Structure 1
Amino acid sequence: MLPHFDDLVTLVKTVAREELLPRFAGTERRFKADGSVVTEADLAVQKRLTIRLRELYPQFELLGEEMDAERQHELLVQSNAGLWCLDPLDGTSNFASGLPLFGISLALLIEHRPVLGVVYDPIRDECFTAQRDRGAWLNGVRLRARPAGLPLRRSLAVVDFKRLGPLAANLASRPPYSSQRNLGSVALEWCWLAAGRFHVYLHGKQKLWDYAAGALILSEAGGHAQTLLGEPIFTPELQARSVVAAGDAGLFEEWKTWLGKQSRNTASL
């Protein structure tokens, strides 16, 4: 039996309010070996959720971002019966800098596929949730991706240029969309797309804990996503994945087509 959503949401909200908000913009950052940022808040949230989820649901192990890579790999290989996938603080650089775009992302994987997802933004008190084949919600209100009614050239895009290589130059010099943003929180980017707050999305590299909950939320809202290579987004491995996504099916096809042409042109140089 799956965990009850109300209990899970209450737990995530409580931990965010007690461990994240008191430390917001007031905690020191340090850099991990891969160059990413970690703070005391990341570690505190992961520790507390690990303990509490083990007490409530002892049948499930937990894979967290702030965990040794070897242990993460072991958990992915061994935990077919159920595995929590946690990003304790998605948007750590924002959090440490005082930018109010961050949250907790938690997914439950069963047989290596996400079946539950929770993303909580404590600044806005917005909780995005999804259950496989049951739908997605924002604070209990059903999320449904709606037709944008716009061509790509009129759309608002969220694009992370940092990890796109040569494609970034083409996007910067000849953007196919009207305007571009970057939130600095992958989990919230997935959820905001599901909520229709922008139209198309592109990111070069996301880890499993970045997208496990958000990708489920977008999918259950009726959105569309794949990698730059045309593969399904979700895969139970630690290797980073690229993301091409849109809430609207027509925009998704137009976005994919434009990106495909750019990739072919870059490859031919």
Structure 2
Amino acid sequence: MLPEIELPELRELEDIIREVAKEEILPRYNKIDFVVKGDGSLLTEADLSTDKRIRQSLAERYPDIDFLSEEMEPEQQEALVKNSEKLWCLDPLDGTSNFAAGIPLFATSLALFVNGVVQIGITYDPLRDEMFSAVKGQGAKLNGEVLKCGESGFDLNKSIAIVDFKRLKPDLVQRLISHAPYKSQRNLGSCVLEWAWMAANRGHLYLHGGMKLWDLAAGTLILSEAEGHACTLEGEDVFRPSMKPRSVLISPDKKLFDQWKDFLIDQEKQ
């Protein structure tokens, strides 16, 4: 029998994330300039200040845990994922483009890896004050209330899908446009919120062509602990302790998930 892992207190982590997000992100909403990073994504002062404060708070309380953030250099990220026994993985502000454009869909997300396994996942939406969280083996919660995925009562052709088209293969995009198996499609523009919303039964289907580690780390645990369903377009588990982007398909509803998965994997083979 494996020894029990001693983890940081979830409530303390939630308090850190909530305090920093409210003090560093919200006051800058609709009031801040941005720059374009090398990969084409946006960066704001809110990203940097949130990253700095959460990193400092975690280092003070948990000095034995290494820290990885979206805002670090790729070489640092690779080394940390490869060599760290315990590792924080932070996305200080996911949905920066929304944030900069005044669209109220963005969040802060933190995960803890222990020996390459996600043990804690937190996603916080500061505008709605919604704290999605999970500890491995202990279920998922939204503001303290249990999250539980289940049957939607919708057929596939009546379902609502959240789809990020820009990272999908062009052939698959065209087939989804011309032969969509769902009724209607949305896109939030924040991967970590999309995971959290799926865990909360907000929407029926989800598809993304390539998420990075900080986009999916907390969400994979939150969804799993809520008993939702996810895999890659190759039918593999989504989470791997790797910097290589991963495709994602999700449904809270097992029947819809199986139909969605069969449709997409069949399309991938064509």
Contact 2:150-2:254 at 8 Å conserved across structures = no
1:200 alignment counterpart: 205
Aligned to 2:91: 87
Can you give the 5+ residue segments of structure 1 that lack an aligned partner in the other structure? none
Cα deviation, 1:161-192, whole Å, max 9, x if unaligned, reads: 00112211111121100111000000000010
Deviation per residue, 1:182-231 (Å, 9 max, x gap) = 00000000010110110110000100000100111011000010100111
Counterpart selection for 2:252 from 242, 247, 264: 247
Q: Identity of aligned pairs, percent? A: 52
Structure-2 residue corresponding to 1:27:
32
Structure 2, unpaired ranges of 5+: 1-5
**AA at the equivalent of 1:32:** K
Secondary structure at the aligned position of 1:252 is classed as helix
For 2:56, give the aligned amino acid.
I
Instruction: Choose from 167, 170, 179 the match for 1:174.
Output: 179
SS in 2 for 1:169: helix
SS of match in other structure, 1:70? helix
Q: 1:101 aligns with which of 102, 105, 127?
A: 105
Counterpart AA for 1:35: G
**Cα distance in 2 for residues equivalent to 1:111 and 1:13:** 27
- 1:120 is aligned to 124
Per the alignment, residue 16 of structure 1 pairs with: 21
- 5 Å matches for 1:162-241? 162-165=166-169, 166-241=171-246
Q: What do the CA deviations read for 1:35-62 (whole angstroms, capped 9, x no partner)?
A: 1111111111111111110001111011
Deviations 1:68-124 (A, max 9, x none): 1101111111112x1000000000000011100001000000111110011000000
Question: Hey, what does 2:150 align to over in structure 1?
Answer: 146
CA distance in 2, matches of 1:4, 1:136: 15
**RMSD across aligned C-alpha pairs, in angstroms?**
0.7
Corresponding position: 1:133 with 2:137: yes
Q: Aligned letter for 1:178?
A: K
Deviations 1:130-150 (A, max 9, x none): 011110000000000011122
Distance (whole Å) between structure 2 residues aligned to residue 250 and residue 141 of structure 1: 25
Cα deviation, residue 28, structure 1: 1.1
Distance 1:134 1:6 in 2: 14
Spell out structure 1 runs of 4+ moving beyond 2 A: none
Give SS of 1:187's match: helix
CA distance in 2, matches of 1:197, 1:129: 16
How far apart are residue 236 of structure 1 and its match?
Answer: 0.6
TM-score of the superposed pair, with normalisation by structure 1: 0.97
Displacement, 1:32?
A: 1.1
Which residue of the partner structure matches residue 75 of structure 2? Answer: 70
Whole-angstrom distance in 2 between the partners of 1:117 and 1:136: 9
Which whole-Å CA distance do the structure 1 matches of 2:240 and 2:61 have between them? 27
User: In the aligned structure 2, how far is the partner of 1:121 from the partner of 1:260?
Assistant: 32
